[in-house]
Structure 1
Amino acid sequence: MTITIFVPRDAAALALGADRVATAIAREIETRGIDARIVRNGSRGMHWLEPLVEVRTERGRIAYGPVKSSDVPSLFEAGFLQGADHPLCRGRTKEIPFLARQTRLTFARCGVTDPLSLEDYRHYQGMKGLEKAVTMQPAHIIQQVTDSGLRGRGGAGFPTGIKWKTVLEAPGAQKYIVCNADEGDSGTFADRMIMEGDPFVLIEGMAIAGLATGATKGFIYTRSEYPHAIETMIAAVEIARKAGILGPSVLGSGKAFDMEVRVGAGAYVCGEETALLNSLEGKRGIVRAKPPLPALQGFLGRPTVVNNVISLASVPVIMDRGAEFYRDFGMGRSRGTIPIQIAGNTRHGGLFETAFGLTLGEIVDDIGGGTASGRPVRAVQVGGPLGA
């Protein structure tokens, strides 16, 4: 039986030598004549363990990390292909405390699948939301999203269902879905992780948004500083188009929706939705006055939904599992889950997805493990450079 080894292709892992590790593993496999294959998956979000190498065994996936290329021969000597013990062994991946404590809905497949395998995506419950959406009336899709309590994950927290309803009811022969993937704040990487690790969930979410609002065209606007995400998204869109997920008839429904990836030119201001729309139109990226709202007069003056990556990537699970399932997570007006990005002088930097309701102390001390330097925590910046 062919053994499967997972080596991340996420930018964070690549920066720490994942390509060199994959090359070293391939060399050992060839030299030893072993029947094994390497899958380049996304990141699990445990950045202090990158590159995190996993092996599929009868006991489940066993994790080793952080692995350097120089560690690879000793891993093979120890029998890591059978999940054997080694100083870098972390046990079963899903039992690593940082992962085990999470509620992974939006990031359920990140680090689990081959990002560009549609077969993998479907195997792990992908496309279920879109399959349901193509059988529903637009107003019913929007009602489900509204009932889930999903609010914008880009920072403003505007209810997603209300934005979609406005676009659905706005007059206009042509409407658009624009995904704001211009993730410019330092210490943020959730959008990038989705695009590199699970691009089909974003495509599925955008297609559902198109069906819900009557939009037939979508754009992902991302940053030139994200070459791996751009490459992965372009390839995924092409695969989805060939599979009939995008195009003149989404999943054979007779309803059209297609999309493309557009790349910004390094302007931080284009993370603001109206500046982004100006840039998409080929104009200088400057903030527009509101009103009119983009939902009424957005891209090329047409009704436009502008949502960020996490908002759109949260839609498939809502459509698949139902509004009540999603709404049961969280507290108050903040329903569902939120990806918490932990960076800086911290022992366990990375991405932690959980229901709303954690205290700052839990995030910094328990999940983040305190400071990497071992000194007391003096200050925490919440929400990036523009936060508090």
Structure 2
Amino acid sequence: MTDTLTPVLSDNWDADRPWTLDGYGRYDALQQALAMDPDDLIQLVKDSGLRGRGGAGFPTGMKWGFIPQGDGKPHYLVVNADESEPGTCKDIPLMMASPHTLIEGVVISAYAIRAKKAFVYVRGEVLHVVRRLQRAVQEAYLAGYLGNDILGSGVDVEVVIHAGAGAYICGEETALLDSLEGRRGQPRLRPPFPAVAGLYACPTVINNVESIASVPSIVTNGVDWFGSMGTEKSKGMTLYSLSGHVKRPGQYEAPLGITLRELLDLAGGMRAGSELKFWTPGGSSTPILTAEHLDVPLDYEGVGGAGSMLGTKALQMFDQTTSVVRCALRWTEFYKHESCGKCTPCREGTFWLVQVLERLEAGKGTADDIDLLVDQCDNIVGRAFCALGDGAAAPITSGIQYFREEFEAGLHTPAWELFPYQASTLYAQPEGASA
């Protein structure tokens, strides 16, 4: 592994107005890419080992290679900027600080897969991000980096910034496609996969913001440079979102494979008087881990080997004042609310999970409730239409695995008596205020 911090995507965030084209600079990587054959570009990204930064970690170049060529159909590139996983905050800061990093990556990626049109699907609530991206796209058009005959190359690429309506389910790629087409965002049955029949039933590549934003640096610096960071199977740098009971929460760009212990040191450690109790490695839809896992490499293989998923690298830190039962309940309430309702396991399962967790939080659980939770989760995992159901079950089953005694305490003692909620809040309560 290289240095602890490896600013690449975040390298210009402290520059003078980096969100403008003048602050960002020329699209040098695009000029290099346009001199290459599209197939060579795809091979370059394959060779780099870049893996999707949105959750599953699927090899980006391989996904691009699935697009059938010479099929006579339009090809589309869709950037999933619907960042809504609880605890995740990496794509929005990137788009706010340096939107041209993403836009240059979009043009290069569209050229590689021979797409003449690209869409950036942004979560609707972040209107300030939508406006910043729209201005960046306008600047790129005016400079000749977008539109017809880009830089005299004969390549045409149009980019549309599309604001979603704020549905968590639209972070699932096929639900996102339905939303883009003007329908209610619900996951599609697969196959066919988007690479064959995606947007408007045409071949489509869907990538996360950070995945696409990483492409220009790979084109500029090469495969060996990218591979010098990270681990053998999880190469490169990535943005980790560190939040919760830490002294300095924020985004830390580091090589894949760094440990939480190292990141916590960079963040100044846990807040005063705190010790780490549990944490999420990839947002609330990944199984929680504990202080025993401080030295697990934060890459796809390391976190997977520890029984969780790297996911979106949303590292939420919880100290000894936090009730695991209450955390599981709040997350499950979110998943219940955001369920699209298309499939029974997720729609009904999240509803009943909330009922049981509410009883346990209030200290009114029954002797069978813990086994009932495990059984409910077992009937959701692998049976839901998309990964939302699995994500809802993950913090519950892992919470019971590591902190079963807290769930058992819910048979007789309210969680707020064992863990007063005022103690775990991140901000001081005004005098006399209730929790």
Distance 1:170 1:343, change over 3 A: farther
User: What SS is found at the alignment partner of 2:121?
Assistant: strand
Once residues 170 and 305 of structure 1 are traced to their aligned partners in structure 2, the CA distance between those partners, rounded to angstroms, is 16
Once residues 242 and 370 of structure 1 are traced to their aligned partners in structure 2, the CA distance between those partners, rounded to angstroms, is 46
2:63 pairs with 153, 163, 175, which one?
A: 163
In the other structure, the counterpart of 2:303 is none
2:10 pairs with 104, 107, 110, which one?
A: 107
Is 1:317 the counterpart of 2:220? The answer is no
User: What is the correspondence of 1:277-316 to structure 2 with a 5 Å cutoff?
Assistant: 277-316=177-216
Structure 1, 164-173 or 268-277: larger mean CA deviation: 164-173
Distance 1:266 1:249, change over 3 A: same
Once residues 358 and 248 of structure 1 are traced to their aligned partners in structure 2, the CA distance between those partners, rounded to angstroms, is 43
Is 1:120 the counterpart of 2:120? The answer is no
Once residues 169 and 66 of structure 2 are traced to their aligned partners in structure 1, the CA distance between those partners, rounded to angstroms, is 25
In the other structure, the counterpart of 1:369 is 268
Point out the structure with the larger strand share: 1
In the other structure, the counterpart of 2:168 is 268
In the other structure, the counterpart of 2:351 is none
User: What is the correspondence of 1:345-360 to structure 2 with a 5 Å cutoff?
Assistant: 345-360=245-260
Is 1:208 the counterpart of 2:111? The answer is no
Q: Deviations over 1:183-230 (max 9, x none)?
A: 001222211011111001111001001110110000000111111111
Q: Deviations over 1:329-369 (max 9, x none)?
A: 110210001111000111010000011111222223x1222
User: What is the correspondence of 1:127-138 to structure 2 with a 5 Å cutoff?
Assistant: 127-138=27-38
Moved over 4 A (4+): none
2:46 pairs with 142, 146, 156, which one?
A: 146
Q: Which amino acid aligns with 2:54?
A: G
In the other structure, the counterpart of 1:19 is none
Q: Which amino acid aligns with 1:104?
A: P
Contact 1:211–1:255 (CA under 8 A) maintained in structure 2: yes
Once residues 170 and 335 of structure 1 are traced to their aligned partners in structure 2, the CA distance between those partners, rounded to angstroms, is 31
| Structure 1 residues without counterparts, runs of 5 or longer | 1-99
In the other structure, the counterpart of 1:381 is 280
Is 1:235 the counterpart of 2:135? The answer is yes
In the other structure, the counterpart of 2:429 is none
Distance 1:332 1:220, change over 3 A: same
Distance 1:172 1:297, change over 3 A: farther
Once residues 292 and 223 of structure 1 are traced to their aligned partners in structure 2, the CA distance between those partners, rounded to angstroms, is 26
Contact 1:248–1:256 (CA under 8 A) maintained in structure 2: yes
Contact 1:219–1:260 (CA under 8 A) maintained in structure 2: yes
Is 1:327 the counterpart of 2:262? The answer is no
How many percent identity over aligned positions? 41
Q: Which amino acid aligns with 1:167?
A: I
CA displacement at 1:168 relative to structure 2: 5.2
By relative contact order (CA 8 Å, sep 6+), the higher-ranking structure is: 1
User: What SS is found at the alignment partner of 1:106?
Assistant: coil
Is 1:248 the counterpart of 2:151? The answer is no
Contact 2:19–2:96 (CA under 8 A) maintained in structure 1: no
Q: Which amino acid aligns with 1:367?
A: L
**TM-score, structure 2 as length reference:** 0.64
| Structure 2 residues without counterparts, runs of 5 or longer | 288-435
Once residues 168 and 114 of structure 1 are traced to their aligned partners in structure 2, the CA distance between those partners, rounded to angstroms, is 40
In the other structure, the counterpart of 2:350 is none
Q: Deviations over 1:253-307 (max 9, x none)?
A: 1110010110111111000000000000001100011111111111000011100
Q: Which amino acid aligns with 2:6?
A: T
In the other structure, the counterpart of 2:89 is 189
Contact 1:168–1:212 (CA under 8 A) maintained in structure 2: no
CA displacement at 1:380 relative to structure 2: 1.3
Once residues 15 and 276 of structure 2 are traced to their aligned partners in structure 1, the CA distance between those partners, rounded to angstroms, is 33
User: What SS is found at the alignment partner of 2:214?
Assistant: helix
CA displacement at 1:372 relative to structure 2: 1.8
Contact 1:222–1:261 (CA under 8 A) maintained in structure 2: yes
CA displacement at 1:375 relative to structure 2: 1.5
Q: Which amino acid aligns with 2:94?
A: I
In the other structure, the counterpart of 2:425 is none
Contact 1:370–1:377 (CA under 8 A) maintained in structure 2: no
Q: Which amino acid aligns with 2:116?
A: T
Contact 1:147–1:324 (CA under 8 A) maintained in structure 2: no
**TM-score, structure 1 as length reference:** 0.71
Contact 1:189–1:341 (CA under 8 A) maintained in structure 2: yes
**CA radius of gyration, larger in:** 2
How many equivalent pairs are there? 285
Cα RMSD for the two superposed structures = 1.4
User: What is the correspondence of 1:37-76 to structure 2 with a 5 Å cutoff?
Assistant: none
Once residues 164 and 188 of structure 1 are traced to their aligned partners in structure 2, the CA distance between those partners, rounded to angstroms, is 25
User: What SS is found at the alignment partner of 1:167?
Assistant: coil
Q: Which amino acid aligns with 2:7?
A: R
